[in-house]
Amino acid sequence: MTEIAAHDAPQGTVGIFSRRHRLRWTEALPWVIALASYFAFPNYLALGSQILATILYGLSLDLVLGYAGIVTLGHAAFFGTGAYAAGLLAAHGYGEPFLGLVVAAISAGIVGCLTGAIILRTSGLTLLMQTLMVAAMLHEAANKANSITGGADGLQGMEVKPVFGLFRFDLYGKTAYLYCLGVLFIGWIIVRRIVYSPFGRSLTGIRENEARMHAIGTPVFRRRLTAYSISAALAGVSGALIAQTTQFVAVDAYGFERSGNILIMLLLGGIGRLYGAFIGVPLYMIAQDQFAEIDPVYWYFWIGLLLVLVVLFARGGALGTLERLKARWSKR
Amino acid sequence: MTEILLPAISILFHGLAFAMVLYLISVGLSVTMGLMGFVNLAHGVFAMFGGYAATTLMNRYGVPFPLALLGAVIIVGAASVVFERVLYRRLYGGAELDQVLMTIGLVFMSVALAKYFWGPLAQLFQPPAVLSGQIDLGFREFPTYRSFLIVCGGVLVTALWLGIERTRFGAQIRAAVDNLPMAESVGINTSQLFTLSFALGSGLAALGGGLGAEILPIYPGYATDYLVDFLIVVSVGGLGSIRGPFFAALLLGITDTAFKYLLPELGSFFIYALTLALLMWRPRGLVGSA
């Protein structure tokens, strides 16, 4: 991840556009910190791998919410599908982790494509409700299909094979952490490429002004559906990661909290900024780990208050605030 | 014949009572969403605190049932004015996502506050002696309180209907729902209208929360657990409408009761699927305008 030397950077408008998607040195920071944490906090690797997998989930949500502008309260539909896909595979003897990820991505992607084809024709509250209903239906189905999913008791008996046939998932979570980190890195490359591609630009265009994108001939519905399906597949991978590393799938993988909390984490970090999840998810999950154990009641009160304050006074979350501070500072 | 008829009547009766509660709580949400275009996920909070206010007034201070309900409506209505002026107002016309997240924040805080002040258990709700027990309607007996709920709901629905159709305030609301800039330009004070209708909607929700405490017990998870039901009523009914949510509430109340009675293992799944299908068929709800 090298900084571009000033002299070979293209000039003018073309320069602005082509520089925009070059890697900046700050983009290496999350990975440096993640690797450093591996050595610095050996006792927290289990939490760490959860955080890494959830960041991927946040990234997938950012793609639909932050870039395509689809407000969804049902992203858990895809997280859960991925988790159950990987879980069921591993419980029936197909515990190869990468196979699990691929199947999870495909099945969640299919669910995303099918439901997206139905619901993405609407907008506003109707769309919000439909995303909610899709997740709620899957939640009910998983809850009631006792014989397949284990129902409310959760899916047990998963046996995940070693990564590359070499690295067993150990008790300390070392393998799990690095495995999640690697998958997140690939996911990040994919999302980053999408966001800066012409396709990604057209998504932003649809978010900002749908009518105009129609007018210039963008196939709006198809673009949104594609983004929705890709995002669903990534969310599925994230669900699979958590299922494989915890060797367990609970029915709340489809729950409303799964859909809601990730929204909150993304908001805290900054929506539509690619790195919102990298900030919001660790902040939220570490704080939850530290405070929620003491008293979950207070935890919800403070998170609620923080939400209200961020929406009213700190638009764009941590990254948005940082951007504003930077803008103010450079103006002086 | 009676083997089919009796359960059917029973389902219809309990479904109707449930529908009335759902309608009372949700109608305010429909009006405020249609009027201000505000996605308010925290509407259930007002119903919950209405329920808490009513039960606390009755259980702790021995206030008679009607007065306790009135008290709940006034307390919650007044509090909602503050919320509207201080918080909601800032996000009118803003991004839908901001509205969703801010109101989720309010829901979280209310859950924590309810647990802090009233504990995790459901509140005891005892209707006055006149309204408890069974009532004989000639061919069979029905629980008195639920009959009362149905009558009460019927009266309130009629009153609301007349209020919206016949009064000046109602006409102003209809005008603002249909065309906000035009309503403003003919001199309707929409800012005041927003506050008033918000307070009215929250007051009705509080009334629904208090009256319905027998069907939807008052506990800290109230605002999150029933949120989906309220949202279904509003979105299926149609935003900004008084009639739409009524039909939607009837549909949800009776279907839900029927499934709980006949096919409990399929209940929620079918309701969600039905909602999805209805929204595909009519994305703006049954009577939607906005």
Give the pLDDT of residue A2: 41
**A50-71: average pLDDT:** 93
Q: Do residue B100 and residue A125 have CB atoms under 8 angstroms apart?
A: no
Please name every residue paired with B135 in a beta bridge, in sequence order, or none if there are none: B142
Label residue B171 by pLDDT band (50, 70, 90).
Answer: confident
Confidence of residue A46 (pLDDT cuts 50, 70, 90): confident
Q: What is the predicted pLDDT for the residue at B90? A: 86
Q: Across the interface, do B105 and A307 touch by the CB < 8 Å criterion?
A: yes
Chain B residues touching A126 at Cβ < 8 A: 235, 279, 283-285
- A64 and chain B in contact, CB less than 8 A: no
Strands B134-136 and B141-143: antiparallel
Say if residues A238 and A82 touch (Cβ distance below 8 Å): yes
Residue A177: which of A305, A268, A46 has the closest Cα?
A: A46
Q: Strand, helix or coil at A167?
A: strand
Q: Which parts of chain A fold into alpha helices (H)?
A: 12-20, 29-40, 45-62, 76-91, 97-119, 124-144, 146-149, 174-196, 198-208, 210-215, 220-246, 256-269, 276-287, 296-313, 317-331
The Cα A328–Cα A98 span in angstroms is 46
Smallest CA–CA distance, residue B52 to chain A, in Å, is 18
Comparing CA positions, the residue from B126, B122, B153, B146 lying closest to residue B217 is B122
**Chain A residues with CB inside 8 Å of B96's CB?**
71, 124, 128
Q: Nearest to residue B75, comparing CAs of B216, B205, B257?
A: B205
Q: Which residue has the higher pLDDT, A171 or A195?
A: A195
Q: How far apart are CA A130 and CA B217, in angstroms?
A: 27
The percent of residues above 90 in pLDDT, for chain A, comes to 37
CA angle B5, B11, B17 (to 5 degrees): 135
HSE-CB of B186 using CA atoms within 13 angstroms: 8
Radius of gyration of chain A (CA): 20
User: Does B112 sit within 8 Å of A298, measured CB to CB?
Assistant: yes
Lowest-confidence pick of A8-12, A265-269, B87-91, B96-100: A8-12
Inter-chain CB proximity B115 and A307 less than 8 Å: no
Under a CB-based contact definition with an 8 Å cutoff, are residues B206 and B110 in contact? no
Contacts of A302 (CB under 8 A, 6+ apart): A291
Predicted confidence at residue A12, as pLDDT, reads 65
Evaluate whether A306 touches B109 at the Cβ level (below 8 Å). Answer: no
Q: Do the Cβ atoms of B276 and A73 come within 8 Å?
A: no
Question: How far A127 CA lies from chain B's nearest CA (Å)?
Answer: 9
Query: φ, ψ for residue B134 (rounded to 5)?
Result: -115, 155
Taking an 8 Å cut-off on Cβ atoms, the answer to whether A136 and B272 are in contact is yes
Locate A137 and state its tokens.
């239906």
Tell if the CB–CB gap between A133 and B283 is shorter than 8 Å: no
- Cβ-based neighbours of A140, under 8 Å, separated by 6 or more: B268, B269, B272
Mean pLDDT of A176-200: 92
Do residues B75 and B206 lie in contact, with contact meaning Cβ atoms separated by under 8 Å? yes
Nearest by CB to residue B269, choosing from A122, A129, A140, is: A140
pLDDT (0 to 100) of residue A111: 96
Nearest alpha-carbon partner for A178 in A57, A280, A37, A284: A37
Q: Does residue A14 carry a pLDDT above 60?
A: yes
Q: Which of residues 34-63 of A touch B (CB under 8 A)?
A: none
Res A3 pLDDT > 60: no
Q: Quick one: which of A73, A84, A69, A60 has its CA closest to A232?
A: A60
Interatomic CA distance for residues A68 and A226, integer angstroms: 10
pLDDT tens for each residue of A262-285: 999 998 888 888 888 999 999 999
pTM of the full predicted structure?
0.87
* B65 Cβ contact list (under 8 Å, min separation 6): B58, B127, B128, B131
Which helix (H) or strand (E) covers residue B134, if one does? strand B134-136
Mean pLDDT of all residues in chain A?
86
SS3 assignment, position B143: strand
Instruction: State whether residue A176 is helix, strand or coil.
Output: helix
Residue-by-residue DSSP string for A215-283 = HTT--HHHHHHHHHHHHHHHHHHHHHHHHHHHT-B-GGGGSHHHHHHHHHHHHHH-TTSSSHHHHHHHH
What is the H or E stretch that residue B142 is in? strand B141-143
Phi/psi at B264 (5° precision): -55, -30
First to last CA, chain A: 30
Q: pLDDT-based confidence at A191, cuts 50/70/90?
A: very high
pLDDT band at residue A1 under the 50/70/90 scheme: very low
What gap in Å lies between CA A257 and CA A111, rounded to an integer? 20
**Max Cα separation, chain A?**
66
Terminal CA-to-CA distance of chain B, rounded, Å?
A: 45
Q: Which of B112, B228, B285 sits opposite A301 (nearest CB)?
A: B112
The CA angle A97-A37-A235, to the nearest 5 degrees, is 40
CA–CA distance, A103 with A118 (Å, rounded to integer):
23
B34 falls in which pLDDT band (50, 70, 90)?
A: confident
Q: What is the pLDDT of residues B115-158, one digit of tens each?
A: 889 988 888 888 887 787 777 776 777 888 888 889 988 998 89
Query: Do residues A257 and A57 touch, judged by C-beta distance below 8 A?
Result: no
Instruction: Check if the beta carbon of residue A134 is closer than 8 Å to that of residue B276.
Output: yes
How many C-beta atoms lie closer than 10 Å to residue A212's C-beta? 11
Q: Give domain limits for chain B.
A: 26-118+173-220, 226-290
